[in-house]
Structures are given as structure tokens and as C-alpha cells.
């Protein structure tokens, strides 16, 4: 393939654009992972990552993709045959359920239409009916990357407490961490699962389990087999800044830089920026006369927007046109919504002009591919970007 000038637009909802500062930070020597320089780095990232999860409790860092951290959350806390209540927000919730079943757990799905976040009332009702407390964990995806719907985790916690149920609460924040406000401690989450390749602006390859005291306690009696994922191997080593096996040193350099960058911008500003880009993107979609997949405004995502194709099909052909003509990758519709939607990622290292470029590419693609739409989406988004301060857009979102 010949050289394509200019930057590729990586507007899938993760992996996201890796900023030069992170790339440069990773471009250092791989050092002795049992030496003093590594220890200083290990201590810094293990403590810094807590601030991103908004927790004072330990956060485990795995050299693995997010799927590994899903598995780690379950195998560290549960025993064979335990029942897990999960919520069908979309494709990723369905994959987590499949993974749980492969681990010899029983699962129960609260059905969803892939157009809303989880309904805390439905979770509360199911838990209230479980008077024998056979349900051992409730698993919810915070930002469902396949749909662009956000689940109200604080309300899920309230529903669990109102039912007076002892189940652990486990939350997947893979596409919301560092993009959408998320509070592990305040919301009483027992295990939060995160990944490096989205809001954290890193390449794929790191994933996380943020823990609670209750989760650590549960891990002491959990009987699912585990070795690589075992928290009781990680926690003592981490206490000194080390890892029980060879860590992904260069990714940790990147993580160190990314944490610093998120704090330089300020987490509240990071969240407001994502809300504002979500609001501008939805303004564009509305002006095109198209619909976003997520129908509940309270659940609209700040990290991605899934757009329904008019006439139900043709999203993949549109994405192909946009990739070939404008060198921009958009997210595909997954499983149930394959070819019916395309997803615009607006998370991570991203700013107003990148969004205008992204939406310009989509609007030109719609025109070239002959998709029924109105012109003026980019104009509508620019209106939002030019007029709204971050605070105003947050209120409007
Ligand atoms: N959960 C969510 C919400 C995701 O978006 C993804 C990946 O996109 C995963 C889990 C799986 O993570 P990974 O592909 O890093 O294993």
C-alpha cells in the first residue's frame, strides 16, 4: 500500500488515538523489573491509577486486554456453580456472560433491547425475589461500547442496598474510564474492570481490577481455579511496587504519562469535554435526519455515538467508503446490530477540530454512498461547539 499523507482518523470507540506524549514516554529502555527504577515507576502507577478509578483501594494492573480483567474479576471472587446476575445492555455484556459460563458459573440475563442502559429497578426486583441469596454477583457494563448507552451505576448500588442483598457489584468501565465520570468508592462497586486502549489513551495491552474490601474478603474463600489472575499473588508484590511476573514495562511508562496528562487537564474537564463532544455529535446526527441507537437521553454516552442506518442496512458499505476516501475508521455494528449501525468514537485524546473533521468525513461519506440524509450535520455540531461552554454542554447532555 502506498503512503497516505496526513493522519489516519482512528474514530472507532477504542483503541483510540495514542498521543505523541504517551508514545514518547513508552519509547524508553526496558529496565530491570526487579530493580529500584522499576520500583519507583511501579509505586507511582499503582497509586496514580487509583485516582482515575476514584478509589483509595488497590487497583490490580494486568498485562492483558480487557477480557482478561473480566475473567480475573470473576475467578478471584466466585466459586464453581455460583449464580451471577448480568444485564443485557449489548454485545459486550453478552460476551462477559459467555465468559462467565465458560468458567463454570451459572448466569442469568435481565433482557435488554440494546437501546437503553441497565434498569436499576429490574435489578432490584430480581434481587428482592432472591431471598435465599443464591445470586453471588451482579455484573453491569457501565458504557456499553456496542450501543453507546451508559448505565446508572450509583442507582444500581442503591437498588442492591434497597433489596438488602449481599451480592458483589462488578462493573465494566472499559470504554468509560477516563472519559465518563466513574466513582468506584462512592458508588460502592466491589470490582471495577478497566482497559488501557480507550479513555486512558494507551495502546491495548493493560487491563485493571479495582477492588473493594468486600471483594478482597470474597477472594479468600473463592474456589474458582486461578493462578495468573490471582489477586493474592499480585497484592503482596504490588505493595512494594513490583509484580509477581514480568510486567509490561513500556506500557507502564505510557500509563504513567497518561495519568499525568489526565490530571493536568483535570478529570472534571476530561468528563465535560467528552459530554460536549457527545452532545455535538448527536446534534449532527439529528441534523442529518438520522437516529442514534440509544433512545434514553439520560443514558447517552460521552465516549461514542452509535448511528442507525436509514433503511436498516448498509453501514458496512458506508464505513468502507469513508475508509477508502477519507482514511477514517469508524466502529462497526456488532452481532445483533451488524451492518445496521455505525459507531463514531469521540473518546480519548480528542478535541473540537478532530470532531469537526470526523463529522465532516461522515457527512461526505453519507453523500458519496448515496445514503438518505439532510446536509448540515457538521454545521449543527459546530454550532454546539462554538456556543456551548463545557459546563453548558454538560447540562444539555
Ligand atoms: N468490555 C467493553 C465495554 C469493551 O468495549 C471491550 C472491548 O472493546 C471489552 C469489554 C473487551 O476488551 P478487550 O477487547 O480489550 O479484551
ipTM of this predicted structure? 0.99
User: Lowest-confidence range among 169-183, 302-316, 380-394?
Assistant: 380-394
Residues 214, 110, single domain; the answer is yes
- The three-state secondary structure class of 379 is helix
Q: Would you give the end-to-end CA distance of the chain in angstroms?
A: 41
The per-residue pLDDT for 390 is: 55
Which of the listed residues 195, 304, 343 should we mutate to test ligand 1's pocket, taking the one with most ligand atoms within 8 A of CB? 195
Q: Is residue 13 part of a domain?
A: no
Tell me the CATH number at 145: 3.40.640.10
Residues 363, 382, single domain; the answer is yes
The per-residue pLDDT for 389 is: 66
The verdict on the CB of residue 65 being under 6 Å from ligand 1 is yes
Gap between the Cα atoms of 308 and 212, Å rounded: 39
CA of 67 to the centre of ligand 1 (A): 6
Q: All 3 cell numbers of residue 339? A: 451492518
CA of 375 to the centre of ligand 1 (A): 34
In this structure, the residue with its CA closest to atom 13 of ligand 1 is 66
- Is the pLDDT at 394 greater than 90? The verdict is no
For residue 173, give the ligand 1 atom closest to its CA.
3
Closest CA to 16 of 349, 300, 276: 349
CA of 192 to the centre of ligand 1 (A): 13
- Is the pLDDT at 378 greater than 60? The verdict is yes
Residues 258, 295, single domain; the answer is no
Q: Is residue 359 part of a domain?
A: yes
Q: All 3 cell numbers of residue 64? A: 492483558
- In the sheet where 341-345 sits, what is the strand order? 9-11, 328-332, 341-345, 304-308, 291-292
The per-residue pLDDT for 2 is: 86
Residues 25, 87, single domain; the answer is yes
Residues 305, 335, single domain; the answer is yes
Residues 48, 154, single domain; the answer is yes
Residues 38, 123, single domain; the answer is yes
For residue 145, give the ligand 1 atom closest to its CA.
5
Q: Is residue 2 part of a domain?
A: no
Share of the chain above pLDDT 70, in %: 97
Q: Which residues are annotated as a binding site?
A: 343
Q: Is residue 1 part of a domain?
A: no
User: What is the number of residues in the chain?
Assistant: 397
Residues 256, 296, single domain; the answer is no
**Full-model pTM:** 0.97
Q: Is residue 12 part of a domain?
A: no
Q: Is residue 117 part of a domain?
A: yes
In whole numbers, what is the pLDDT of the chain averaged over residues?
A: 97
Which of the listed residues 10, 67, 99, 146 should we mutate to test ligand 1's pocket, taking the one with most ligand atoms within 8 A of CB? 67
Tell me the CATH number at 331: 3.90.1150.10
The verdict on the CB of residue 174 being under 6 Å from ligand 1 is yes
Residues 219, 292, single domain; the answer is no
- Residue-wise pLDDT tens digits, 278-299: 999 999 999 999 999 999 999 9
Q: How confident is the model at residue 312 (pLDDT cuts 50, 70, 90)?
A: confident
Average pLDDT of 55-73? 98
Residues 265, 268, 274, 280, CA torsion sign = negative
Q: Is residue 306 part of a domain?
A: yes
Q: Is residue 164 part of a domain?
A: yes
What b/e sequence results for 203-213 when a residue is b if at least 16 CB atoms lie within 10 Å of its CB, and e otherwise? bebbbbbbbbe
Provide the number of structural domains found in the chain: 2
CA of 256 to the centre of ligand 1 (A): 22
- Residue-wise pLDDT tens digits, 187-203: 999 999 999 999 999 99
Give Dmax over CA atoms of the chain in angstroms.
Answer: 64
Domain range spanning residue 67?
20-263
Gap between the Cα atoms of 278 and 124, Å rounded: 30
CA of 17 to the centre of ligand 1 (A): 16
Amino acid at each position: 500500500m502506498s503512503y497516505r499523507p496526513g493522519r489516519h482518523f482512528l474514530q472507532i470507540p477504542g483503541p483510540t488515538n495514542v498521543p505523541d506524549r504517551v508514545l514518547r514516554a513508552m519509547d524508553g529502555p526496558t529496565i530491570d523489573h526487579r530493580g529500584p527504577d522499576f520500583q519507583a515507576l511501579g509505586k507511582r502507577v499503582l497509586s496514580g491509577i487509583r485516582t482515575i478509578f476514584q478509589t483509595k483501594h488497590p487497583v490490580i494492573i494486568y498485562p492483558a486486554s480487557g477480557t482478561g480483567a473480566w475473567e480475573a474479576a470473576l475467578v478471584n471472587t466466585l466459586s464453581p456453580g455460583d449464580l451471577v446476575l448480568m444485564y443485557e445492555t449489548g454485545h459486550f455484556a453478552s460476551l462477559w456472560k459467555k465468559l462467565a459460563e465458560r468458567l463454570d458459573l451459572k448466569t442469568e440475563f435481565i433482557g435488554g433491547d440494546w437501546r437503553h442502559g441497565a434498569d436499576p429497578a429490574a435489578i432490584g426486583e430480581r434481587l428482592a425475589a432472591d431471598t435465599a441469596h443464591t445470586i453471588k454477583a451482579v455484573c453491569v457494563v457501565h458504557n456499553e461500547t456496542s450501543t453507546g448507552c451508559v448505565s446508572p451505576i450509583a442507582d444500581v448500588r442503591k437498588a442492591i442496598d434497597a433489596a438488602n442483598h449481599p451480592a458483589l457489584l462488578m462493573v465494566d468501565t472499559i470504554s468509560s474510564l477516563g472519559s465518563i465520570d466513574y466513582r468506584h468508592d462512592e458508588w460502592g462497586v466491589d470490582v471495577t474492570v478497566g482497559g488501557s486502549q480507550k479513555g486512558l489513551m494507551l495502546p491495548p495491552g493493560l487491563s485493571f481490577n479495582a477492588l473493594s474490601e468486600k471483594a478482597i474478603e470474597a477472594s479468600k474463600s473463592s474456589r474458582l481455579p486461578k493462578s495468573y489472575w490471582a489477586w493474592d499473588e499480585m497484592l503482596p508484590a504490588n505493595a512494594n511496587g513490583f509484580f509477581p511476573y514480568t510486567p509490561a514495562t513500556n506500557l507502564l511508562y505510557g500509563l504513567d504519562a497518561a495519568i499525568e496528562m489526565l490530571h493536568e487537564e483535570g478529570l472534571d474537564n476530561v468528563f465535560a469535554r467528552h459530554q460536549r463532544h457527545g452532545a455535538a455529535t448527536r446534534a449532527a446526527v439529528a441534523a442529518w435526519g438520522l437516529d442514534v441507537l440509544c433512545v434514553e437521553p439520560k443514558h447517552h454516552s460521552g465516549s461514542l455515538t452509535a448511528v442507525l442506518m436509514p433503511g436498516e442496512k448498509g453501514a458496512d458499505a458506508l464505513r468502507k467508503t469513508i475508509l477508502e476516501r477519507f482514511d477514517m475508521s469508524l466502529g462497526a455494528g456488532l452481532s445483533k446490530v451488524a451492518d445496521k449501525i455505525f459507531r463514531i468514537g469521540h473518546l480519548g485524546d480528542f478535541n473540537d477540530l478532530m470532531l469537526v473533521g470526523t463529522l465532516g468525513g461522515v457527512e461526505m461519506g453519507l453523500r458519496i454512498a448515496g445514503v438518505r440524509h439532510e446536509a448540515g450535520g457538521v454545521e449543527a455540531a459546530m454550532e454546539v461547539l462554538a456556543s456551548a461552554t463545557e459546563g453548558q454542554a454538560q447540562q444539555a447532555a
